[in-house]
């Protein structure tokens, strides 16, 4: 039996990145994964398959709505759903195989099976117990459902089932107006479903900059998605031919019902630690979250945790950053993740991207700030491409001009945001962005114009 410097339990974006970095830093490393493929939720049933479906359905939508305007005649555009799923599957396979290749290249041992931690310094997989000087828990998260709702992944589905529906539902009811609900709601709306999103709060995407969230909802509504805001789902009745979703409007307590063929439960995710035997080990946990210090250490010596099982946003890229950092921590005794600069992206059309603080948070802090805003309507490239919905908003300190946050809704927002991420990481001001030459014509000019708007004024608006 091999003795390892490090065993990582979980082969998702947190775990596999930690494994590769640890091996690069000279640690004898193994990664334990039970689902039969590396890449975790993100690669197998999350980020990557959803992007394949989002892109394919967006192309259909473009063909239906923009082609004629642009002078393209596509007489019979239709959906071949089995082929769309096959495309998605091939993307997943190519990516998971890619990680296996990276493991081999970096000499990371891939231990297949579900791991448990019988004692500090030991990881048991099947009948074999492996010794490790250090263990990292990177077991991710699973969908959290409502207490009265059982997910069967056929008619009442989580994101996993919603990515694999064998036919386009006539009526899809989405519970939860967060990232998953809106991304997958968009997919099926474009493929032909009637989609209603029921959200408990009074606005979609809680935590988002308010102005962006309102604009986002208006655009999605224009695309045909219906919203029931401020509504609590109270039950789902399963009939032979349909589902009946009951909800209560919070403001007046009135009871309502809506029919559905499929119900997508998208009310958040919870840490996944099943089978690890953490309670027996005495690992400190709160509400299922594994508690760590700033150096990813749990209260058990040699046992670390990263990613969705720990505190903070459940995002693949946050887990990846922690994966690299925990490997550096174990190999070199130092690490750093800048939690103030973790972008969030919603891959709808238009995309929504944000980093740093929201305007609401700045107001609540009583901070003196200036906001610069620029609409894509005034961006030449966006107009030429018929994607001029949305805007860029930059927030900067009123005195120093230092960038505090950015909120973008519009074309390629998920890519544009990184200019501001790099700027924030380097302590840049809005004037630094404004003074940087941006190529014309690009969407990124809207970011520069927003920075100009935070100073002496935008040129094109």
What are the catalytic residues? 440
Rounded CA-CA distance 113/99 in Å is 17
CA separation for the pair 303, 321 (Å, rounded): 18
What does DSSP say about strands 285-286 and 289-290: parallel, antiparallel, or unpaired?
A: antiparallel
Considering only residues 314, 341, 387, 424, which one is a binding residue for ligand NAI as defined by CB under 6 A? 314
Q: Which of residues 212-251 bind ligand NAI (CB under 6 A)?
A: 232-233
Task: Transcribe 169-210 into DSSP letters.
Answer: -SEEEEE--SHHHHHHHHHHHHTT-EEEEE-SSSSSSTTS-H
Name which position in 315, 319, 355, 357 contacts ligand NAI (CB under 6 A). 315
In the bound state with ligand NAI, the residue whose beta carbon lies nearer, of 8 and 263, is 263
Q: Does 177 bind ligand NAI (CB under 6 A)?
A: yes
Smallest gap from Cβ 411 to ligand NAI, in A, equals: 16
CB of 176 to ligand NAI, least distance (A): 3
Burial of 76 (0-12, 13-18, 19+ CB in 10 A): exposed
Taking CB under 6 A as the binding criterion, the range among 192-200, 252-260, 377-385, 441-449 that sits at the site for ligand NAI is 192-200
Cβ nearer to ligand NAI, comparing 144 with 281: 144
Query: In the range 319-378, which residues lie near ligand NAI by CB under 6 A?
Result: 345-347
Candidate list 8, 258, 266, 371; residue touching ligand NAI; CB under 6 A: 266
Q: Pairing relation of β-strands 122-125 and 115-119?
A: antiparallel
- 381 Cβ contact list (under 8 Å, min separation 6): 441, 442, 443, 445
Answer yes or no whether residue 180 interacts with ligand NAI by CB under 6 A. yes
Q: Token digits for 57?
A: 């359905």
What SS3 class is residue 403? strand
Is residue 18 within 8 Å of residue 324, measured between CB atoms? yes
3-9/29-33 β-pairing? parallel
**Is residue 198 near ligand NAI by the rule CB under 6 A?**
yes
| Listed ranges 169-177, 252-260, 328-336, 367-375: which one lies at the site for ligand NAI (CB under 6 A) | 169-177
Minimum distance from CB of 342 to ligand NAI (Å)?
Answer: 10
| Of residues 147 and 333, the one with the C-beta less far from ligand NAI | 147
CA 334, CA 280: separation in Å to the nearest integer? 29
Q: Does 181 bind ligand NAI (CB under 6 A)?
A: yes
Terminal CA-CA length for the chain:
68
What is the x/- site pattern for ligand NAI, positions 107-146, by CB under 6 A?
---------------------------------------x
Q: Which is nearer to ligand NAI, 116 or 158 (CB)?
A: 158
Q: Which residues bind ligand NAI (CB under 6 A)?
A: 146, 175-181, 183, 198-201, 206, 232-233, 266-269, 313-315, 345-347
């Amino acid at each position: 039996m091999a003795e390892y410097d490090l065993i990582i339990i979980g082969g998702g974006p947190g775990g596999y990145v930690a494994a590769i970095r640890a091996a690069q830093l000279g640690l004898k490393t193994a990664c334990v994964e039970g689902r039969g493929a590396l890449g975790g939720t993100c690669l197998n049933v999350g980020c990557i398959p959803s992007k394949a479906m989002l892109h394919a359905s967006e192309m259909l939508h473009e063909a239906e709505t923009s082609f004629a305007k642009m002078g393209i005649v596509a007489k019979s555009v239709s959906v071949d759903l089995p082929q769309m799923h096959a495309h998605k599957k091939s993307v997943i396979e190519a990516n998971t195989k890619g990680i296996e290749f990276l493991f081999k290249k970096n000499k990371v041992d891939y231990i297949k099976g579900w791991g448990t931690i019988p004692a500090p310094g030991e990881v048991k997989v099947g009948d074999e117990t492996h010794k490790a000087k250090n263990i990292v828990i990177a077991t991710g998260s699973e969908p959290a459902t409502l207490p009265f709702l059982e997910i069967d992944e056929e008619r009442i589905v989580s994101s996993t089932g919603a990515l694999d529906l064998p036919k386009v539902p006539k009526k899809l009811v989405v519970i939860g107006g967060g990232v998953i609900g809106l991304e997958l709601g968009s997919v099926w709306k474009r493929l032909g479903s009637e989609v209603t999103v029921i959200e408990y709060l009074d606005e979609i995407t809680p935590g988002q900059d308010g102005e962006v969230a309102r604009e986002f909802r208006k655009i999605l509504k224009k695309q045909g998605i219906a919203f029931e805001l401020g509504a609590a789902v109270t039950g789902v009745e399963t009939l032979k031919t349909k589902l009946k979703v009951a909800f209560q409007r919070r403001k007046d307590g009135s009871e309502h019902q809506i029919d559905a063929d499929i119900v997508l439960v998208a009310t958040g995710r919870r840490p996944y630690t099943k089978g690890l035997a953490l309670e027996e080990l005495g690992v400190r946990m709160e509400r299922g979250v594994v508690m760590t210090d700033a150096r990813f250490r749990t209260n058990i010596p040699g046992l670390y945790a990263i990613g969705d099982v720990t505190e903070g946003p459940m995002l693949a890229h946050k887990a990846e950053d922690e994966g690299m950092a925990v490997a550096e921590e174990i190999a070199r005794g130092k690490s750093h993740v800048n939690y103030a600069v973790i972008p969030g992206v919603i891959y709808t059309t238009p995309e929504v991207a944000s980093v740093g603080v929201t305007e609401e948070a700045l107001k609540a802090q009583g901070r003196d700030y200036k906001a610069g805003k620029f609409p894509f309507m005034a961006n030449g490239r966006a107009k030429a491409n018929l994607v001029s919905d949305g805007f860029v908003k930059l927030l900067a300190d009123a005195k120093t001009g230092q960038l505090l946050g950015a909120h973008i809704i519009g074309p390629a927002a998920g890519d544009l945001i990184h200019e501001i991420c790099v700027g924030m990481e380097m302590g840049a001001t809005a004037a630094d962005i404004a003074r940087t030459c941006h190529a014309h014509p690009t969407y990124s000019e809207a970011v520069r114009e927003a920075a100009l708007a935070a100073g002496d004024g935008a040129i094109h608006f």
